[in-house]
Amino acid sequence: MVACLLCCVVDNRKVSLPLDLGVCVLGIYSLCATGGRSSMADDKDVLRDVWFGRIPTCFTLNQDEVTEREAEPYYLLLPRVSYLTLVTDKVKKHFLKVMKAEDVEEMWFEYEGTPLKWHYPIGVLFDLHASNTVLPWSITVHFKNFPDRDLLHCPSNSVIEAHFMSSIKEADALKHKSQVVNDMQKKDHKQLWMGLQNDKFDQFWAMNRKLMEYPTEEGGFRYIPFRIYQAMSDRPFIQKLFRPISPEGNAHTLGNLLKEMYPTAIPNDGEPKRYQVVIHGIEPLLETPLQWLSEHLSHPDNFLHICVIPTPTD
């Protein structure tokens, strides 16, 4: 519990508005862990809290864009589990009001010089690039000089849908050898996508729970779909095969995963902590079972996105 409280404090300092849910997700899980039994109701709350996580954001037009009059900044609560290009129609409309059509090319976003990859979930972008900074998150909007070398084009929502479904399929290939996703019908796939697109928690989870099932005797998925990101790296992420259960039958934890994939992220005894391991804006305990994290803290794309960021020095 003490470790938990520490985490909460860190999170509170970072988030001034009661919008980030780190505190309650962590609180609930620690109850399960210390109580020795997990309650279904509590776990369902975790799914809700993850789904409804929001980041207050201020969009500002890039100074070099040609406008007819000054562009006011635009404020929005961004859903952590969605994608930038899926939830910024209003931002685009807002800035187009002050621009001539011939000055408008494909819209893209940047944070402090880094082009933001729309195909990563919004929460991952925030945790990776803007953790421990002041809110609202300040994003610059561009309509020119699309950085071809860094960003994927996103001409329509169908591109986001294809990307999202391809992630779900890859995750299911890891979890169930693609059996669950292949047994679904086209309308089931559509239900997952529409649930995300329209922010319908119940619609999404009515289908997604099938992707979270596994044979009881196996104790978990075949492999855990995860990606580990770090800010200061040319390599976009680490993704390998990792099982939720050890050959001896013990549950693997977040700590076990990091020890194998990214050992420097775990502090040595007696040394100051150099890295924060962040999922959905919180630092889960390293003792948390990986299977539980995969079922509850995965993004809608069914991957567990883990950010490793330097501990703030101040």
Residues in touch with another protein (CB under 8 A):
117, 119, 148-153, 159, 162-163, 166, 169-170, 173-174, 178, 225, 230, 232-241, 261-264
Name the residue nearer to another protein (CB basis): 39 or 264. Answer: 264
Whole-angstrom CA distances from 232 to 129, 267, 309 are: 10, 18, 8
Q: Which of 196, 267, 254 is nearest to 228 (CA)?
A: 254
Scanning 157-286, the segments in alpha helix (DSSP H) are: 157-176, 179-183, 186-197, 201-211, 254-261
Name the residue nearer to another protein (CB basis): 12 or 158. Answer: 158
Smallest distance from another protein to CB 90, Å? 25
DSSP annotation of 103 reads G
Q: Which of 105, 93, 104, 91 is nearest to 140 (CA)?
A: 91
Instruction: Give SS3 for 186.
Output: helix
Smallest distance from another protein to CB 48, Å? 29
Smallest distance from another protein to CB 297, Å? 20
Please, are residues 302 and 309 in contact by the beta-carbon 8 Å criterion?
no
Smallest distance from another protein to CB 169, Å? 6
What length does the chain have? 314
Smallest distance from another protein to CB 282, Å? 23
**Cα radius of gyration (the chain):** 20
Name the residue nearer to another protein (CB basis): 59 or 223. Answer: 223
Name the residue nearer to another protein (CB basis): 202 or 269. Answer: 269
Is the N-terminal amide bond of 136 cis, ω within 30° of 0? yes
Name the residue nearer to another protein (CB basis): 119 or 200. Answer: 119
Name the residue nearer to another protein (CB basis): 60 or 178. Answer: 178
Smallest distance from another protein to CB 152, Å? 5
Smallest distance from another protein to CB 82, Å? 18
Residues 6+ apart with CB under 8 A from 1: 30, 34
Whole-angstrom CA distances from 63 to 67, 99, 119, 142, 197 are: 9, 13, 25, 9, 31
Name the residue nearer to another protein (CB basis): 130 or 181. Answer: 181
